[in-house]
Amino acid sequence: MGAMSVWLTEFFLRLQHNVMSDEDLANTWSSDSTADLGLSFWLVVTACISAFVNNVCILIAMADGRDADTIAPALEEKVNGAIMLY
């Protein structure tokens, strides 16, 4: 989120305007209003939104009221003499 806000700030303050070299500016060339944010910026925005939605889904799944303390212990007679094969 921080990188997106810094990039947007720099884009609207500097990159959107004429950012050519001094030699090109002396030739009266201009790049004013020809910049755009590009696909990579929108991919970062999409990734941030996806991560946020994922966190919300996890919080909703964890809030269903089940407690981890209610796990029933294994019965002793079932585990006596049992062999675990992997």
Domain locations in the chain as residue ranges: 2-65
Enter the tokens of residue 55. 């966190």
With left for phi above 0 and alpha for psi between -120 and 50, is residue 47 left, alpha or beta? alpha
pLDDT tens-digit profile of 32-47? 777 788 899 999 999 9
Residues 49, 4: contact at Cβ < 8 Å? no
Q: In terms of pTM, does the model score above 0.75?
A: no
pLDDT tens-digit profile of 39-80? 999 999 999 999 999 999 999 988 876 655 666 666 665 555
Give dist(CA 5, CA 13) in Å, integer. Answer: 12
Residues 52, 64: contact at Cβ < 8 Å? no
